C-alpha cells in the first residue's frame, strides 16, 4: 500500500483543508494523531496506509487556495499559525491538484458561493471531465489507489430517488442528459466507473442511489456513507441506547445546533438543510421508537465561526412516572472534529479495497449518521462491527498473505 | 419460583420504600414498569419471579414506618399521593416485618440518625440475631427464597480490608469479637451462612471482603455489588467509551452532584463520603487511562429534597490539539432512579440462584459503579454481558428443564 | 378601594385560571404571595386593593370551565390538587361571569381552538356586545372599578397599524365595519369607552394603536402593556445591562425556548409567533446596540406541558479580544410565572386610576417586554421607575388625602 | 495628570501581566479597550489619565519575568503571540522596576511558589524597604502620582482583625514587631504613609483594617477594595436583585467554580481559600436574606489553565409554591476579565485623588465583591453610584478648575 491518492470533492472547504493540513502537519511532526480512530486500538492492529504517503487533490467551485482557507480557520484558533506556516509549501503544491467541479443541482446556497463551475453541454460531458480529472491525478502522481471523498457543501435532496434504482436506469439518465442528477452522484458515478472507492462524508445523495450501489457491488468497490457523525448525533447514538437499556421512557428530545461557518451558511437554506435534518433525525427514532417529540434545529450564528455548539434537552419518565431530564452542550471546532475522520475513512477504505472487500462497509457504520447498510444506530454496537472487522483482518499485512 | 422474600437492610430509607411502594403499586395496577430493566427485552425472555409475589421485610435503625417515609417522599412529588394511598395498607403490613438492625461502624452520621440499634454484647451475638431475623421472616411467610439487599446508608470504608481475606480469617474475627467489622459485612455474612443470595446496592463493604466472596463461592450463592449506578456514573460509563473510541483525549472531567435527601446528609460526613467517591472515581480511570484531572464532588443542598442534579464538565483535546468540551446536567429523583433497579436485581439474582449460578455475577455489572468481578466499566460492554446471559438462559423456564 | 372587578379576556386560559386560583387560594389562606411584586417592598408602602376583594369575570372562546383548566394544570404539578379543591366552588361561581368573546383576526391557530365566538353582523355590534358584557359585570357585582386585562392567545400582528393612528381614524374604521381590526383592539376600545383601565399582558395589538392611546389619554385612563416579561426576556433585560456596564462586547445572543402548553401550540403558527418574537427581540438591541447576532426561537414540545425552558447562549468579547461565554437555562411553570403579575398589574393599575394617573404608566415598565412609553429595557432602571412612583405615592392612603 | 505610576504587588502574576500587556498593546494600537469600564460612557465624560502615560512597576516573590508570564498565558490563547511580541521590549523594560516583596503570613501555598522574599529582621524594616521601593520608583520615573494595587496571591485571613482597629494600634504592632501582620497590610501601610492611593484587588486584608482606614481618611487618600468582581459574583450581584424584585423566593444557590491557573492552585489551600469564599458568599445573603442554602466551591482543575468556568444552580419558589430553576455557566479567561478592571481602577482612583476625594470610594463599589463602605450588593445600584460620581465630576477637567 504505497501511494494513496485522496481526492476531496470540496477541496477548499474547512473539512478538506483541515484534513490536509493535519496530515501534512503530522508528516512534519508538528501535530499528533489525537482524534484519529485509526491511531489507536483496535485499528492499530491493521496494516493501514501511512498518512505521510497520501497524495491530495480534489474539486472545488470556489476560486481560492488551501492556504487561504487554512489562514481563515487559523484566525479562529485551529490550526495554529505555526502549523499553517509549517505546511504552507505543501498546501501550495496541493493547490496544483485542485480542479474546477460541477455544482449542478446544489441549490442557490452553493451557486451563490461558487466562482467557477464545470459547465459542459450535457451531463455525460460533465462525467467525462470528472473522470479525466481523476485519471490525470492518478497518472501524474503514479498512485496505487485513489479514494474519492465527498466533503462538498450539502446539496438539497433528490426528489423521487427510486427512478435511479438500477445501474441501467442511472446510466440511461446520464445518456438522456437528465438535468435532475445531483453533482454528488456524478462525482460518485465517475469514481466507481474509474475503479475508485467512494466515501460520502456529507448528507448529499452521492452513491446512495440504488444504481450506484449496484455499480459498486459489481465492481467490488467500497461504497461508504453518509454524513459523518461528529457532534450532536454522535452523542445521540451514544446516549439513547442507555435510556433504552434502562427502560427510561424518553418523551422529548430537542436538539439545537448553532454554528458560524460556511456549512452553517449553506444550511440556512431550507432545501439544503432538509437533507441534513433527515440524517440527523432518524438516529433517535431507531433506538427509541416510542419517543413523542424529536426535533433538531440548526441555526447559523456567524460570530461562532467554525465553532459549533449543540444543546440538547432530553425529558424522560422513570419509575412511578417520575419526570426527569438530561441536558448537554457539546462545543467543538466543526472541522477539527470532522477532519481526522476523513483520514481514518481513507485509510480504512483503502484497507477494505486492498483486501477485496467491496460494496457497503458495515464496519464503518460508527462514522456515519446514516450508515449505508446498517440500521442499528447504537454507537457501541457500530463500533463492535469495527472491532470484529479488525479481529478478522489483524495480522494480515505481516504474514506474507498476497494482496490484490 | 413462587414466593420470593426481599429483605431490605435500610428498609425505611428512600430507596427501599420507593421500591416497595412501586412493587405494590404495580401489583395494584396503579403504576407501570418504566425504569425496570427486567420489564423489557432482553430480560423479558427470562422466567423471572413476578413482582406481585414478592414479600418484603428488612432491618432499620430508625423508628418510623414505610408510610411515613412514603408520605415525606410524596411531598417532593414522587410517588404521588394517590399511589401512596393505594398501597398504604400494604405498607402497614410490611412494617410488621421490619426489625431493629445494627449500626456498628456506620459512623456518627448514621448513629446520629438512629433511634434504636441492635446492641448485643459481642459481634457473634449480633450475627446470631440477624440470622434469627432472616429465619423467622422466611418461616413466617413460607418463602421459597430470600434475597438480602443492602440499601442502608453508606458506611465509612474498612481500614486494611485484607485482614478479612479468607473465610477463616473472617470467622475468627467474628469469634474474637473484632470491633472493626462493619454492619454491612455482618448482614452479608449472616445472609450467606443462612443460604441467601446477597446484593449490595451501596458503596459499603458488604460481601466484597475476600472471606465473604469465598463463602458465597463455596455455598454457590449469588454475591452481587456494589453501589448501584443511577446517575452521573451511569453517564460516565456511557460517554467515556465514546471519547476513547474516537481517540479524543479527555484531559479534565469534573463532576459536581447536589442532592438534598438523607443520603446527601450522610455523605456530608467525610468518612462516609470517601467510599462513595472511591466507587464513582474509578470508572473514568478504567476507560480513560490518560485522564489528567478527575474529581467528583457531592454537596448536600437540603432544598432539593430527594432530587439530585449532577453537573459534569468534560474538557477534551481533538485533532490538532483543539480544546473542546462537553457539559451535562442530569436531574432526577434519586429514589425513583434507584428503586426499580432494586427490584430488577432481586429478580435477576433469584434467577441466577434458581439456575445454580452462584458467586460473582458478571452479567449484572451494568447495574453497578464498582461491579464485583468485572473490570470493564463500559456500560455497553456490561450490558452485552447481560444479553449473553439471557441468550444462554432464554426459554429455560418453558422447556421442562428441572430446576434446583 | 373596595370592590375591584378583574375582567380577563382569555378567562379559561392557563394564565387567567392560575391568577384566579391563586387569588382565591390566598383568600382561603392555602397559598402565600410569593411571586407577587406588590407583596413586598416597595409596593407594600402603597394602599392597594386587597386580593380578597377582587371579583373575576371575562371573555373566552372555548367552551370549558375554570375548574377544567385548573385540573389540567394540576396534572402538571401546579396548582396542587389540594389547592384546586379548596377553590373549586369559587371557580364554579366565577364561571357564571364568563362570556363568549370574539376571535376576529386571531388567526387559524385560535379559531381552531375556539368552540364558540361572538359573531355579530358588523364590528360595531361586536364592540356593542363587549361593552354590554362589561356593563352587566360591573352592575351585577356593584363594582367600584373594573380593570380589563388581555390574557388571550397571541394574535397575528396588524398590517400597517398607522392607519389607526388617531382616535378619529379608529372610530371611523369601526363604523365602516373595517374587517382588519383585531379582537384585542376591540376589547381595548370597549374598555376605554366604558371608562375602564386596560392592561395588555400579551404581544397582541390591544390599545397600542395610536387611536387608542389617544382615547386613554383623553379619558385619563391607565393604558398598559405589552407582553409580560416572565422568563428569557426578563433575564435578558437583567443581564444585558451588565455586559454594557462592563464594556464587554456581546457578539451573539441565541435564545431557544421550548414549551408544551396551548400558548406554545398557538405560537407554532408563524403569523401568531411573529408578534411574540418582535417584542422579545427588541430588548437586546436597545441595550446592546452593537450586537451582531440576535435570534430567538420558540419551539412547541408537547411533553413539557405548561413548563417552559429557555436556553440562552451568549458570546462576548472581553479584553484583548478574548472570546468568552455565558449560557443559561431558565425553567419554570409558564403560568405560575405570569399569574402573580396579572394580580400585581390589576392592583397597581387600580392604584394609578384611583390617583388619577391616566395614560401610559412608565412605572410599570419592568413588567413588560415592550413597555408602552418606555424605551429603556434595563430591568433595574425600570424597577427604579416603580420605586420612584411608590416614593411619590407612599402614605397617601393613610393621610386623609381625598381621592377621586 | 501626566505620568501615573502603577505599582502592582504581584507584578509577575497573571492579572498584573495581562494588565500591563494590555495597556502597552493599546498604546501600540494592537489592541482595543473592550472590557474597560472607563472606555465607555459614563466614564468617558471624565478627565482620566491616559493608558499611554502609565508607568508600571511592582513587587513579586517569584524570580521570573513579565515576558515569561505573558508567553505562558499566550499558550492558553490570551494574549495572542502577536500582541506579546509587539510589547516584548516594553515588558523587559518594566522588569527593571520589579522588586522582591515580602510573603509574611501568606501561607504555605504562597511560600511554596516563592523564589525569594524580602526578609528583614523585623516588620518595621520590611515596611521601610517597601517604602524605599515605592520612593525610588516615583523618583526614578518622575511620577506625578503612584497608585499601589494589590494583585498578589490571596492570603489567609487575619485572626482577630479588631486588634488593629486604630492607627495607633496598628503602628504599635509594627513597632512591636508583631509577626501576625499580613504582607498585604504592610504593603498598604507603606503606600498610605508614602501618600499613595491604595487599591486591593484581592480578598486579602490589605487596607481593610480599621487602623489603615483611619490612616487613609486622615491623609485623604483613596482606599479601595476588596476582591474584584469578575465572574460568578458579578452574575450573582446582577441576578439576585431580579429575584428579589419579583418576590421569587430563592431557596438554594450552589456555585461551583473550576479554574486551572496559579490562583486556583493557591486557593486549593484551605486557609487561602477561606478569605475568597467569605467575600463571594456575602453577596447573596445581602440581597436575598431568606436564602436557605448558599454554597460556593472553587476547584483547581489544571487542564483549564487560565480559563475559569462557573456553574451556578439556583432553585427558587414562585407563585403557588412552584419550584423553578435557573442554571448558568460563565466561561472566560480569568486574567482577561480582571486586567481591564485594574486599569480602570487606577484611572478612577487617580481621578478621585486628583479631586481630593480621599478615604473609601463608594462609587467604585461595582468593581468589588466586598466593597469597602457599601453594603448594597446590587450591581445596578452600585453602578448608579458610579454614574452619579461622573455626573458630579463631568466636565471638570475642561473648565479650568484648579486641581490639587
Ligand atoms: N464538520 C463536520 O463536523 C461535518 C460533519 C458531517 C458532515 N459534514 C459535511 O461536510 C461537508 C463539508 O463541510 P465544511 O464545513 O467543510 O463546509 P465548507 O462550506 O467549508 O466546504 C465545502 C466546500 O465545498 C465546495 N463545494 C460546494 N459544492 C461543491 C461542488 N458541487 N463541487 C465541488 N466543490 C463544492 C465549496 O466551495 C467549499 O469549498 C458539508 O456537507 C457538511 O455538512 C461536516
Ligand atoms: N438513590 C440512588 O440513586 C442510589 C444509588 C446508588 C446507591 N445508593 C445507596 O443506597 C443507600 C440508600 O440510599 P437512600 O437514599 O435510601 O438513603 P436513606 O438515607 O433514605 O435510607 C437509608 C436507610 O438506611 C437506614 N440505615 C442506616 N444504617 C443502617 C444500618 N446499619 N442497618 C439498618 N438500617 C440502616 C437508615 O435509617 C435509613 O432508613 C445509600 O447507601 C446510597 O448511597 C443510592
Ligand atoms: N405565561 C407567560 O409567562 C406569559 C408571558 C407573557 C405573555 N403571555 C401571554 O399570555 C397569553 C395567555 O397565555 P396562556 O398560557 O394563558 O395561553 P392559553 O392558550 O392557555 O390561554 C389563552 C386563552 O385565551 C382564549 N382566547 C383566545 N383568543 C381569544 C379571544 N379572541 N377572545 C377571548 N378569548 C380568547 C383561549 O381560548 C384560551 O382559553 C398569551 O398571549 C401569552 O403569549 C404569557
Ligand atoms: N482573575 C480574576 O478574575 C480575579 C478576580 C478577583 C480577584 N483576583 C485576585 O487577584 C490576585 C491575583 O490573581 P492572579 O490570577 O494574577 O494570580 P497569580 O497567581 O497568577 O499571580 C499572583 C502573583 O503574586 C505573587 N505574589 C504572591 N504573594 C506575593 C507577595 N506577598 N508579595 C508579592 N508578590 C506576591 C505571585 O508570585 C504571583 O506572581 C489573586 O489574589 C486573585 O484572587 C483575581
Ligand atoms: Na436516596
Ligand atoms: Na488569574
Ion ligand 5 contact residues with beta carbon within 5 A: B 14, 261, 263, 334-335
Core vs surface per residue A262-292: b (16+ CB within 10 A) or e: bbbbbbebeebbebbbebbbbbbeebbeebe
Residue B403: its pLDDT value, please? 43
| CB-based contact, A42 to chain B, within 8 Å | no
Residue C402: its pLDDT value, please? 40
What are the tens digits of pLDDT across the range D155-179? 999 999 999 999 999 999 999 999 9
Is the domain spanning B232-332 CATH 3.30.360.10? The answer is yes
D375 three-class SS:
coil
Q: How far apart are CA D57 and CA D48, in angstroms?
A: 20
Looking at every residue in chain C, the average pLDDT score rounds to 94
Q: What is C232-333's CATH number, 3.40.47.10, 3.40.50.300, 3.40.190.10, 3.30.360.10?
A: 3.30.360.10
Q: What is D4-227+336-396's CATH number, 3.40.50.720, 3.30.160.20, 3.40.1670.10, 3.30.420.40?
A: 3.40.50.720
Please give, one letter per residue, the 3-state secondary structure of A324-360. Answer: EEEEEEEEEEHHHHHHHHHHHHHHHHHHHHHCCCCEC
Residue B398: its pLDDT value, please? 53
What are the tens digits of pLDDT across the range A46-93? 999 999 999 999 999 999 999 999 999 999 889 999 999 999 999 999
Binding-face residues of B in 187-216 toward D, CB within 8 A: none
What are the tens digits of pLDDT across the range B74-84? 998 899 999 99
In this structure, the strands spanning D249-259 and D307-317 are: antiparallel
What are the tens digits of pLDDT across the range A16-44? 999 999 999 999 999 999 999 999 999 99
D145 three-class SS:
strand
Residue A398: its pLDDT value, please? 52
Residue D139: count other Cβ atoms within 10 Å of its Cβ. 9
Give the pLDDT band of residue A329 (cuts 50, 70, 90): very high
Q: How far apart are CA C103 and CA C100, in angstroms?
A: 10
C356 three-class SS:
coil
Grid coordinates representing A111 are 451557486
The residue count for chain B? 404
What are the tens digits of pLDDT across the range C100-138? 999 999 999 999 999 999 988 899 999 999 999 999 999
Residue B402: its pLDDT value, please? 39
With the most atoms of ligand 1 within 8 angstroms of its CB, the residue from A62, A102, A153, A206 to mutate is: A153
Quick one: closest CA in C to D314, which residue? C330
| CB-based contact, B246 to chain A, within 8 Å | yes
Across residues D117-135, what is the average pLDDT? 94
| CB-based contact, C318 to chain D, within 8 Å | yes
Residue D397: its pLDDT value, please? 58
Is the confidence at residue D398, as pLDDT, over 60? no
Residue B397: its pLDDT value, please? 58
DSSP state of A65: -
Dihedrals phi, psi of A119, to nearest 5 degrees: -120, 95
Residue C262 Cβ contacting ligand 3 at under 6 Å: yes
Residue numbers in C near D21 (CB within 8 A): 320
Nearest to D246 by CA among C353, A357, C273, C43: C43
Instruction: Report the range of poorest mean pLDDT among B166-170, B281-285, C24-28, D290-294.
Output: B281-285
Residue % of chain B over a pLDDT of 90: 89
DSSP state of A404: -
Across residues A211-229, what is the average pLDDT? 97
Dihedral of CA B194/B198/B204/B207: which sign?
positive
Nearest to A230 by CA among A263, A252, A206, A197: A263
Residue B400: its pLDDT value, please? 42
Grid coordinates representing A228 are 459523518
Give the pLDDT band of residue A402 (cuts 50, 70, 90): very low
Nearest to D7 by CA among D102, D116, D97, D123: D97
| CB-based contact, B304 to chain D, within 8 Å | yes
Residue numbers in A near B30 (CB within 8 A): none
Cα C60 to ligand 3 centroid, rounded to whole Å: 10
Task: Say if the ipTM goes beyond 0.90.
Answer: yes
- List CB contacts of B107: < 8 A, sequence separation 6 or more: B155, B156, B269, B271, B272
- Is A232:A274 a contact under the CB 8 Å cutoff? no
Residue D275: its pLDDT value, please? 77
Binding-face residues of C in 274-303 toward A, CB within 8 A: 292-293, 295, 297, 299, 301-303
- Is D242:D220 a contact under the CB 8 Å cutoff? no
Q: Is D320 within 8 Å of C336 when comparing Cβ atoms? A: yes
Is the confidence at residue B36, as pLDDT, over 50? yes
Residue C397: its pLDDT value, please? 58
Across residues D93-122, what is the average pLDDT? 93
Quick one: closest CA in A to B383, which residue? A245
Looking at every residue in chain B, the average pLDDT score rounds to 94
In this structure, the strands spanning C4-9 and C145-150 are: parallel
Cα D306 to ligand 6 centroid, rounded to whole Å: 6
**Which protein residue's CA is at the shortest distance from atom 21 of ligand 4?**
D13
- List CB contacts of D100: < 8 A, sequence separation 6 or more: D59, D60, D61, D116, D117, D118
Is the confidence at residue D404, as pLDDT, over 90? no
Is the confidence at residue C378, as pLDDT, over 70? yes
CATH architecture of B4-227+336-393: 3-Layer(aba) Sandwich (3.40)
- Is A66:A95 a contact under the CB 8 Å cutoff? yes
Is the confidence at residue C360, as pLDDT, over 50? yes
Residue B395: its pLDDT value, please? 72
Residue A261: its pLDDT value, please? 86
The neighbours of chain A, by the rule of 3 or more Cβ pairs under 8 Å, are: B, C
Residue A14 Cβ contacting ligand 1 at under 6 Å: yes
Residue % of chain B over a pLDDT of 70: 98
Residue B268: its pLDDT value, please? 81
In this structure, the strands spanning D249-259 and D293-300 are: parallel
Residue D400: its pLDDT value, please? 42
What are the tens digits of pLDDT across the range B107-131? 999 999 999 999 888 999 999 999 9
Across residues B67-71, what is the average pLDDT? 98
Give the pLDDT band of residue D218 (cuts 50, 70, 90): very high
What are the tens digits of pLDDT across the range B232-269? 999 999 999 999 999 999 999 999 999 998 888 888 88
Angle A339-A340-A345 from CA coordinates, rounded to 5°:
100
Is the confidence at residue C173, as pLDDT, over 70? yes
In this chain, the answer to whether the domains covering D4-227+336-396 and D232-333 adopt an identical fold is no
Q: How far apart are CA B313 and CA B310, in angstroms?
A: 10
Q: What are the extents of the domains in chain D?
A: 4-227+336-396, 232-333
Is the confidence at residue D86, as pLDDT, over 80? yes
- Provide the strand spans (E) within C124-182: 145-150
With the most atoms of ligand 4 within 8 angstroms of its CB, the residue from D153, D184, D269 to mutate is: D153
What are the tens digits of pLDDT across the range D298-355? 999 999 998 999 999 999 999 999 999 999 999 999 999 999 999 999 999 999 999 9
Residue % of chain C over a pLDDT of 70: 98
Grid coordinates representing A402 are 498476497
Q: Is B252 within 8 Å of D293 when comparing Cβ atoms? A: no
Residue D401: its pLDDT value, please? 46
Dihedral of CA D208/D212/D218/D219: which sign?
negative
Is the confidence at residue A14, as pLDDT, over 60? yes
Is the confidence at residue D142, as pLDDT, over 60? yes
Residue that is written with C-alpha cell 452513491 in the block:
A207
Residue C271: its pLDDT value, please? 83
Residue B401: its pLDDT value, please? 46
Please tell me which of the candidates B242, B249, B331 has its beta carbon nearest to residue A238: B242
Residue B13: count other Cβ atoms within 10 Å of its Cβ. 25
The neighbours of chain C, by the rule of 3 or more Cβ pairs under 8 Å, are: A, D
What are the tens digits of pLDDT across the range C219-238? 999 999 999 999 999 999 99
Amino acid at each position: 500500500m504505497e501511494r494513496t491518492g485522496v481526492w476531496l470533492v470540496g477541496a477548499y472547504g474547512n473539512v478538506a483543508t483541515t484534513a490536509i493540513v493535519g496530515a501534512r502537519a503530522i508528516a512534519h511532526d508538528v501535530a499528533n494523531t489525537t482524534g484519529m480512530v485509526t491511531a489507536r486500538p483496535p485499528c492499530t492492529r491493521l496494516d493501514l496506509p501511512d498518512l505521510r504517503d497520501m497524495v491530495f487533490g480534489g474539486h472545488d467551485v470556489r476560486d481560492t487556495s488551501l492556504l487561504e482557507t487554512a489562514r481563515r480557520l487559523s484566525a479562529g484558533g485551529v490550526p495554529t499559525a505555526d502549523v499553517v506556516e509549517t505546511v504552507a509549501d505543501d498546501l501550495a503544491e496541493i493547490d496544483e491538484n485542485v480542479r474546477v467541479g460541477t455544482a449542478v443541482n446544489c441549490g442557490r446556497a452553493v451557486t451563490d458561493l461558487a466562482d467557477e463551475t464545470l459547465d459542459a453541454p450535457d451531463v455525460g460531458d460533465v462525467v467525462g471531465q470528472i473522470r479525466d480529472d481523476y485519471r490525470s491525478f492518478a497518472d501524474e502522481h503514479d498512485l496505487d489507489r485513489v479514494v474519492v471523498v465527498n466533503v462538498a457543501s450539502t446539496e438539497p435532496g433528490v426528489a423521487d430517488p427510486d427512478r435511479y434504482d438500477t445501474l441501467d436506469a442511472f446510466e440511461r439518465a446520464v445518456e438522456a442528459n437528465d438535468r435532475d442528477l445531483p453533482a454528488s452522484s456524478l462525482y460518485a458515478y465517475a469514481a466507481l466507473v474509474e475503479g475508485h472507492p467512494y466515501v460520502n462524508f456529507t448528507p448529499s445523495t452521492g452513491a446512495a442511489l440504488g444504481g450506484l450501489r449496484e455499480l459498486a457491488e459489481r465492481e467490488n468497490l467500497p461504497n461508504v456513507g453518509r454524513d459523518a457523525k461528529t457532534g450532536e448525533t454522535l452523542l445521540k447514538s451514544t446516549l439513547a441506547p442507555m435510556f433504552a437499556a434502562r427502560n427510561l421512557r424518553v418523551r422529548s428530545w430537542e436538539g439545537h445546533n448553532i454554528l458560524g461557518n460556511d456549512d452553517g451558511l449553506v444550511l440556512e437554506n431550507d432545501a439544503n438543510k432538509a437533507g441534513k435534518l433527515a440524517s440527523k433525525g432518524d438516529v433517535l427514532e431507531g433506538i427509541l421508537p416510542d419517543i413523542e417529540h424529536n426535533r433538531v434545529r440548526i441555526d447559523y450564528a456567524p460570530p461562532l465561526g467554525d465553532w459549533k455548539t449543540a444543546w440538547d434537552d432530553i425529558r424522560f419518565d422513570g419509575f412511578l412516572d417520575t419526570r426527569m431530564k438530561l441536558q448537554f452542550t457539546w462545543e467543538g471546532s466543526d472541522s477539527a472534529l470532522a477532519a481526522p475522520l476523513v483520514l481514518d475513512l481513507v485509510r480504512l477504505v483503502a484497507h477494505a479495497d486492498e483486501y477485496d472487500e467491496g460494496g457497503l462497509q458495515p464496519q464503518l457504520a460508527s462514522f456515519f449518521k446514516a450508515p449505508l447498510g446498517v440500521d442499528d444506530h447504537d454507537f457501541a454496537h457500530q463500533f463492535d462491527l469495527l472491532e470484529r472487522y479488525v479481529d478478522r483482518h489483524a495480522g494480515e499485512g505481516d504474514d506474507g498473505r498476497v494482496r490484490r
